[in-house]
Amino acid sequence: MLTNSIAVLSVTALMAQSAMAVNAYDKISFANVGFAGTFQSVKKMSNIYDNSTCKCEVEDRQWFSGTNAPLADYLSVHFRGPLTLSKFAFYTSPQFVINDSSSSDWTRGAYYDASSQTSSNVTFLTKAGKNSPCLGNALSYASTNGTGSASAATLLESDNLISSDQEYSIFSNVSCPKSGTGKGCGVYRDDIPAYYGFGGTTKMFLFEFEMPVETQKNSSSFEYYDMPAIWLLNDHIPRTSQYPNNANCSCWASGCGEFDIFEVMNGTERNHLYSTFHTFQGIEDLGTGIQSYGYIPRDTSSTMRGGVIFDSNGNTVTFVSNSTTFDDSLTVSSINSLFI
């Protein structure tokens, strides 16, 4: 049961957050999530291996609207170390509103269990593909340790600790149609394994994981020393470029969507996990986004369970609870009991 919780903010009406103390919670809620807006997809990537002429062009603005938009789109799931993943699950429900007992149950649509090495509907990808001067490294299938490259889809091994700065991602096992404007996965790099992320307006992602303290020494070679994170991206972003050197090489900068579920923001607050929306809802500074002013404590010595729910009413709730289970169906009451 989550006893220490907070409704952090309403994303359409940014409140006077600075007046409130930064505190620890086991649940963080956002309300009114979803708006009508636009973003620009990548139309063309040219000369991607040429240092001086590598460039990208964007399409005209495309509109989105509705509950949870633009995060109602397909999302890929991203992990940064120090982190060990023992379970992952993705659920959908036809209609679920937090605290409303007339909601519908959740059905598991994807699953990964490290200890039994079983999975369904997941593909582990990582940035171990070919490097492009304007796009960065291409996605590849991840090898068993999450960061090496593999020639075919490979399950993450059971003892799968990744260190600071190391990353991998999870997509569904549904292959993308051909790359192209207006196609299901948009325009994407032709040298990647291309899969859909996880779609739907009403969706839930659950995780069982550890975020142990980094054992290597800090140095300037780390970008994110001891700053683990689990986050969601509009799946178009990693299929073109997660870390481009030109904003037109991904739809991120025009606001196609990122949500950080559990993220350490800096070395000073290395044991605080914040949640952040990086969309243009209610804010003009996309990089800062709308961040919770409360945080969920990072337990560095034991396993954490929790995740995020995007409900049918525009509530987004991130939570950590030892009562989290990963069954193939989760009842309304079992989920609502996490929020009493």
Ligand X SMILES: *[C@@H]1O[C@H](CO)[C@@H](O)[C@H](O)[C@H]1NC(C)=O
Q: Rule CB under 6 A: which residues touch ligand X?
A: 7, 29, 51, 57-58, 98-99, 109-110, 120-121, 133, 143, 145, 147-148, 172-174, 196, 198-199, 218, 220, 225-226, 246-248, 265-270, 274, 291, 302-303, 315, 317, 322, 339-340
Nearest approach, Cβ of 274 to ligand X (angstroms)?
5
As a whole number of angstroms, the distance between CA 208 and CA 187 comes to 33
Tokens 């997809």 map to which residue? 41
- Rounded distance, CA 329 to CA 154, Å? 26
Nearer to ligand X, 172 or 279 (CB): 172
CB of 310 to ligand X, least distance (A): 12
Q: 96 vs 225, which CB is nearer to ligand X? A: 225
Nearer to ligand X among residue 35 and residue 141 (C-beta): 141
Which residue number is nearest to ligand X in terms of Cβ? 148
CB of 43 to ligand X, least distance (A): 8
Q: Which is nearer to ligand X, 88 or 196 (CB)?
A: 196
Nearest distance, CB of residue 118 and ligand X, angstroms:
10
Q: How far is the CB of 331 from ligand X (least distance, A)?
A: 16
Question: Which residue, 4 or 65, is less far from ligand X as judged by CB?
Answer: 4
From the CB of 207, what's the least distance to ligand X, in Å? 14
d(CA 153, CA 240): 19
Closer of 109 and 193 to ligand X (Cβ): 109
